[in-house]
Amino acid sequence: MKALLTSAGITNKSLENALKKLVGGKIKIAFIPTAANAEGGNKDWLINDFNNCMKLGSVDIVDISALKKDAWLSRLKKANVIVVGGGNTIYLMDWIIKSGLGDELRELLKTRVYVGISAGSIILSKVLSASSEFLYDDEDGKEHKGLGYVDFHIRPHLNSPAFPKVTLDSLKKLAPKFDGKFYALDDDSGIVFIDGKIEVISEGKWEKYN
């Protein structure tokens, strides 16, 4: 599997170059914005994500919560990059299960590159406990499972004013609670994952724990 797991999408030249290297040709993106459906307020961050993707190639917006399986599956198959956007991580994971994408994604990614943005990056881990729903909202205490495609955890938005709890000091205390490596990424950082190999790409700040 080839993946680029980011905090805030393709926000700089280093991340752009990393994606181009993973794809190796003309970029055709299918963007899944479903996680944003559960978030209110100003969606400038989502528009920024769309715009950053549009600079790279064609973009089809595919909301798995609004389409039947045959419709979204045929459109994902036409892309060579599947971008899963940010928002509410638990809501996103619920729809991945409900829609049937969880049954299809691993096969799709045999021939496509996965790009995660925030929640879209977190869901590849075994559990969702690094998501904002747990840091901020004191979720129900249940262990919400992720896809389990990677054996490490990502906490996005390090040092972001929009996420004041996501600091190096707070994450240093949080990370030991997780089984496996724990990466804190700011909005100019990402992880390239190729068949188990990890490389951090950053023009900003990041930290690895455990």
Which of 36-40, 80-84, 105-109, 173-177 has the weakest average pLDDT? 173-177
Answer left, alpha or beta for residue 115, where phi above 0 means left and psi between -120 and 50 means alpha.
Answer: beta
pLDDT in tens, 155-205: 999 999 999 989 999 999 888 988 899 999 999 999 999 999 999 999 999
Q: What is the 3-state secondary structure (H, E, C) of 118-148?
A: CHHHHCCCCECCCCHHHHHCCCCCCCCECCC
Q: How far is CA 92 from the centre of its chain?
A: 10
Task: Assign residue 153 the CATH number of its domain.
Answer: 3.40.50.880
Domain range holding 150?
2-209
Number of separate domains in the chain = 1
pLDDT in tens, 186-197: 999 999 999 999
Task: Report residue 138's pLDDT band, with 50, 70 and 90 as the boundaries.
Answer: low
DSSP H or E run through 99: helix 89-99
